[in-house]
Amino acid sequence: MRLLHSRSLPFGLLVAAMLFLAPARLAADLVWSRDTGWRMEGGALAGLTGGEGRNALDLMNKARLQEERGQIGSAIKNYRKVVKRYGNSVYTPEALYRTANLYLARKQYTKAFESFQQIVGRYPNTPRFNQIIGEQYRIASALLDGARPYAWGKFPLLPARLKGLEYFEYVLLNAPYSDYAPLALMNIARGHQRMRNTEEAIDALDRMINNYPQSLLAPDAYLKLGETHASLVQGPEYDQTSTKEAITYFQDFMILFPNDPTISSSAKGLDQMRTVLAESKIKMADFYFYKRDNYTAARVFYNEAITVYPDSPVAQLAKTRLAEVDAAAAGQPAPASPEPAAPAKKKRFFFF
């Protein structure tokens, strides 16, 4: 939100703007004491006058005393009355905050999250902003990990992992520049992988490396992108789009993070994917060579196999097949393949 400059506004509009912005600032001026009840400090105004102000204060004091006595349901009911009846008062953000925490204590995760969300939406300048985002993140994490929400704070329901994923998206929307944002994306990816939603997991990881490339979690995101694409690879006989994507991310990881302790995992994944891609070239070349007698196409694919992974056993096989292609094209018998070395005879021991 842009700051409003007093010189550019008539006095009446300036006062209206100040009143509009006031609730987010005045929420921090509300103080509780068991002896005196809720009171405002620092010259803050309640935003209510006369009987409305007294009624709102009475409800706030009643709810807080019920909260301290353990009468959670009654306290929630009165805090919600404050929010509904006196929505423009200084009491509203405090009532929402306390309601959210009471719901959270009873494991009513959805109602707790929604109450926190009302504060963020209506009072984005609240001094509790970071604290509230942290609570929303923890609720999303608990649900994604299988925590069971409770109905009315008494009856456990089924786990709501999808709701956890939804709440992580809210965390991203509420605080895209906070430390929680990259963590939320990594958890979204983890949740989708657990549910076998591979494409959604890839999307979350892709958002992670594009939006937060400097995050400490970026190396892990690159590695997981490579591994996730690799999990889609079905073998050299099938489409190799996922194989090529996996190779790209494994290579990027090794270039960008050469000193990362998981570099060996990336190297292993890269070796496997390059082998599969080279083998797919061999199979294409074999088809043209043995089934179609198309020596030109066969040469192209055997050479591509060598280019994909030059120092591999697959490349050596491609070179052998190239020699066969050249011989066939010249009308000569294929060169003899080198015989594999005979296994060494086992020594025999005689016992007397």
Report the C-alpha gap between 178 and 171 in whole angstroms: 9
Q: What is the mean pLDDT of residues 11-22?
A: 37
Which phi and psi (to 5°) does residue 150 adopt? -115, 140
Portion of the chain with pLDDT greater than 90, in percent = 76
Q: Residue 332: its pLDDT value, please?
A: 78
Q: Which helix (H) or strand (E) holds 87?
A: none
Whole-number Cα distances in Å, 24 to 11, 52, 128: 21, 20, 10
Q: Is the pLDDT of residue 26 over 50?
A: no
Question: Which pLDDT belongs to residue 341?
Answer: 42
pTM: 0.81
Which residues 6+ apart lie within 8 Å of 92 measured at CB?
23, 82, 83, 86, 122
Q: What is the pLDDT of residues 43-62, one digit of tens each?
A: 455 566 566 778 989 999 99
Segment 63-97, tens digit of pLDDT: 999 999 999 999 999 999 999 999 888 899 999 99
